[in-house]
Amino acid sequence: MNQPVLGVDVGGTRAKFVVLDGEGQVIQTGEVASDPGSAARTLAAVAGALDPSLWPDREPDASSAAGLAGVGLACAGVVDPDRGWLGRSPNLPGWEDSDLFAAVGRVFGNVDRAVANDVNSALYGEARRGAGRGCRDLVMIALGTGVGGGVILNERLIIGAHCGAGEIGHMVLDPEGPVCTCGNPGCLESYAGSVGLLKAARKAARDGAAPGVRALAEEKGPDLTTRDLALLAEAGDQGAVALFAAAGQRLGQAVGNLVNILDPERVIIGGGVARAGDLILEPCRRTAKDIILAVEAKKTPIVPAELGTGAAALGAALLVASRENAP
């Protein structure tokens, strides 16, 4: 039997991990606090949380991480998967411009290594075990605080010449639109990320256009979430429904353009905002259909992600396992 592999999704506050056995079955999942200042401390914390009794072939007195065949890491930011290099990273300032292959080696020894951008990793997980199973060509858009993206063509993640491919969240949809965190106006993120959506909700509340949203915003104050807005919309509040419809139309604009360029088999929408489901997906599908040129491609399925918040850790483990199994 092959040895187990570990996948770790390192966020700014938590590092989620999954261990797959040699058959690819999940044998442990967990999470530890991450240290945005130190890759070594974070990886050591993960190593300490592993349960090596789950894999029988280890040396009895070896360290807890002994016996792993490979370690895959998923991080937000610019990642060079060939060199194991992390460039700019918004959540992990102390990890920037560092050699993650070396960091993994210092904690886990001589194991196979893979490093990927977190959304690419989640997309790889979805492609292998989730909403993209069986597809060669996929696009994923992750609607979180910000908006991330990833593309798989011919079963390969597209990285780009400067490791910057897949920034779907920063596709400019309206040069007159609200200013995005990146400084450009009218990016998809400024409409369909949770920060953008909450901003739009507060604006609608102020303008008096959405009394239900206004009451909710006053009740929740700074704790208002897109989940709260989705519940209000599900209860039939038209102001809240309109907020998701507007975000969904912008998302559909991006999806329609991407389908025209890439012609994927499926488009996967993930992230916390996507938990609003058809509130955002139906307007997205309608808008995308209008934009998509090829008659056959108008039917491209636009589907919710299936793996939830564990997708990136699973994808990282599958990426390193695929490397291990390479000829």
- Nearest to Zn ion of 210, 247 (CB atom): 247
- Nearest to Zn ion of 183, 327 (CB atom): 183
> Is residue 210 involved in binding Zn ion (CB under 5 A)?
no
Alpha-carbon distance of 157 to 166, in angstroms, equals 9
Site mask for Zn ion (CB under 5 A), range 142-171, x = bound: ----------------------------x-
Three-state DSSP class for residue 30: strand
* Candidate residues 47, 119, 187, 251; the one interacting with Zn ion per rule CB under 5 A: 187
The total of other beta-carbon atoms located within 10 Å of residue 221's CB is 7
Q: Which stretch binds Zn ion (CB under 5 A): 52-60, 178-186, 195-203, 314-322?
A: 178-186
Alpha-carbon distance of 154 to 187, in angstroms, equals 28
Q: Minimum distance from CB of 170 to Zn ion (Å)?
A: 4
Alpha-carbon distance of 211 to 208, in angstroms, equals 6
- Nearest to Zn ion of 177, 304 (CB atom): 177
The total of other beta-carbon atoms located within 10 Å of residue 36's CB is 18
* Candidate residues 180, 204, 230, 251; the one interacting with Zn ion per rule CB under 5 A: 180
User: Is the Cβ–Cβ distance between 169 and 187 less than 8 Å?
Assistant: yes
Nearest 10 degrees: CA dihedral of 279, 280, 285, 288? 150
- Nearest to Zn ion of 64, 184 (CB atom): 184
- Nearest to Zn ion of 249, 300 (CB atom): 249
Which residues lie below 8 Å from residue 180, measured CB to CB, with a gap of 6+?
170, 186, 187, 189, 190, 196
> Is residue 40 involved in binding Zn ion (CB under 5 A)?
no
> Is residue 114 involved in binding Zn ion (CB under 5 A)?
no
277 φ, ψ (degrees, to nearest 5): 60, -130
Q: Minimum distance from CB of 189 to Zn ion (Å)?
A: 5
> Is residue 182 involved in binding Zn ion (CB under 5 A)?
yes
Q: Minimum distance from CB of 255 to Zn ion (Å)?
A: 17
The total of other beta-carbon atoms located within 10 Å of residue 88's CB is 14
Among 249, 234, 145, which Cα is nearest to 198's? 145
> Is residue 266 involved in binding Zn ion (CB under 5 A)?
no
β-strands 266-270, 302-304 pairing? parallel
> Is residue 250 involved in binding Zn ion (CB under 5 A)?
no
- Nearest to Zn ion of 38, 184 (CB atom): 184
- Nearest to Zn ion of 35, 189 (CB atom): 189
Interface size with Zn ion, residues (CB under 5 A):
5
**Structural element, H or E, at residue 229:** helix 226-234
Binding interface with Zn ion (CB under 5 A)? 170, 180, 182, 184, 187
